Structures are given as C-alpha cells and as structure tokens.
C-alpha cells in the first residue's frame, strides 16, 4: 500500500501526516508513506487544495485534516 | 516548515458547464473572470465527469461551491449528481432570461449579468468554511 500526503509543508499538512502515521501504527498496516511537497506533483493529482491524502492512487481527502477513524477506514 | 500555506478567507469552487452554446460559453467566461477577480477559483468539471478521484473528492470536500449550467439540460448538475457531489449554489443561465443560441460573440452585458447572478447565488455559501481547515491551491 502507498499513502501520499499532499501539501507544501504547512502545519496542517504536517498534522495530516501525523494522523496517518498514528492510524498506521494503531492498525499495524504496512504502507509506504510519502509526503509530497512539490507543487507540480500535487497539481497532477487534480486536487483543489491541500492537505490531501491519496491511498493507492485514489484521492481520499482534500483541504482538511482527516480524522484518524477516516484514515483507518481507508487503509483497512 | 511553513507556518501556514493557507489563503485567507474562503475560495469558492466555480464549476461551469462550458457547453457548446452561447450560454455554455457565458458560464465559462463568467467563471474565468470571477477567478481573475479573486471571487473564487474555476475548477475542472470535466475531471469530475471523468470520475478522476482528485477532482471528485475535491468537489465533495469543498463546502463553498457553485455550479453554473447554461441551459435546463443541466449537464453540470447531472455530472455532480452522478459523482455523488452534494449540490450547493446552483444556477441556470436561461432562467436569467438569456436565450440559448449558437452565437459565440458573447455580449458584455450578459457576461456581467451572469457574474452578478453567480455572486448572488453564492451569498449563502459558507465562505468562511472554505479554506478554513486547509489550503486552497
């Protein structure tokens, strides 16, 4: 599984990454987590804003910090 | 780390049908000008229609959004319904008294009329909510 957090590096993007890490730790799911900060790569995902979360190529959340429960529902 | 990458205030997502008639192109021109003027940001309805996840999820997660259909065929509305995107602000340009035709020489007064109608349709949108929890690209 590959998870991408899209965001240029603001606090909300970092918080999103933290939530995803917590969800992975809690579930024991193995995944490659990448924080994408490159604006062109972010734009290639077609998102209107950041932070955004992409799981195995599918965008799951845009413009907000997802809840841990949401992240768990995406990865289980 | 940047302290914040977020814009101030809300960004309205503007989705225009951009169809093959005067009213379709009026929706497109109004969306362009409202973006240039900073009222909102035009977004790709085509990407939503293509069911590309980034576009669909963006529309679902953006509380301040307006869809502009040129005519009562309602292509923009249908695309949003098919994608499971809740309808928020919405208007149909023929309802404004603009007759649909194939004359693509857009009239300035009609573009301005559409822009004013879009702004009015967005009056009840949660502008503060858009972008409040994230960054708008």
What pLDDT digit, counting tens, does each position of B30-70 carry? 999 999 999 999 999 999 999 999 999 999 999 999 999 99
Instruction: Write down all domains in chain A, each with its CATH number in brackets.
Output: 2-75 (3.40.30.10)
Q: pLDDT tens for residues A41-55?
A: 999 999 999 999 999
Q: What are the phi and psi torsion angles at B6 (to 5°)?
A: -90, 145
How far B68 CA sits from the closest chain A CA (Å)?
18
Option in A46, A48, A50 nearest B52 (CB) = A46
Alpha helical stretches, state H, chain B: 22-36, 45-49, 53-61, 75-83, 108-121
Mean pLDDT of B124-132: 63
| pLDDT tier at A68, thresholds 50, 70, 90 | very high
Inter-chain residue contact A51 with B135, CB threshold 8 Å:
yes
Q: What are the phi and psi torsion angles at A32 (to 5°)?
A: -90, 120
Strands B135-136 vs A49-50: parallel, antiparallel or unpaired: antiparallel
- CA-nearest residue to B12 within chain A is A48
**Omega prior to B76 cis, within 30 of 0:** no
Q: pLDDT tens for residues B87-115?
A: 999 999 999 999 999 999 999 999 999 99
With an 8 Å Cβ cutoff, the interface of chain B facing chain A consists of 1-6, 11, 13, 41, 43-44, 47, 52-62, 131, 133-137
């Amino acid at each position: 599984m590959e998870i991408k957090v899209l965001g240029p590096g603001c606090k909300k993007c970092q918080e999103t990454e933290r939530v995803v890490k917590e969800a992975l730790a809690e579930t024991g799911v193995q995944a490659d987590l990448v924080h994408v900060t490159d604006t062109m790569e972010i734009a290639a995902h077609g998102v209107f804003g950041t932070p955004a979360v992409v799981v195995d190529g599918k965008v799951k959340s845009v413009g907000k910090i997802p809840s841990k429960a949401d992240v768990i529902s995406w990865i289980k | 780390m940047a302290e914040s990458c977020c814009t101030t205030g809300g960004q309205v997502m503007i989705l225009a049908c951009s169809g093959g008639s005067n009213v379709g192109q009026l929706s497109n021109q109004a969306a362009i000008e409202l973006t240039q003027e900073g009222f909102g940001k035009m977004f790709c309805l085509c990407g939503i229609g293509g069911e590309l996840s980034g576009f669909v999820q963006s529309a679902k997660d953006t509380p301040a959004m307006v869809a502009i259909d040129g005519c009562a065929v309602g292509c923009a509305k249908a695309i949003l319904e098919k994608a499971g995107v809740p309808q928020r602000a919405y208007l149909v340009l023929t309802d404004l008294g603009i007759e649909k035709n194939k004359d693509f020489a857009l009239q300035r007064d009609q573009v301005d009329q559409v822009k004013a109608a879009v702004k009015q349709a967005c009056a009840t949108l949660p502008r503060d909510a858009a972008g409040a929890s994230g960054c708008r690209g």
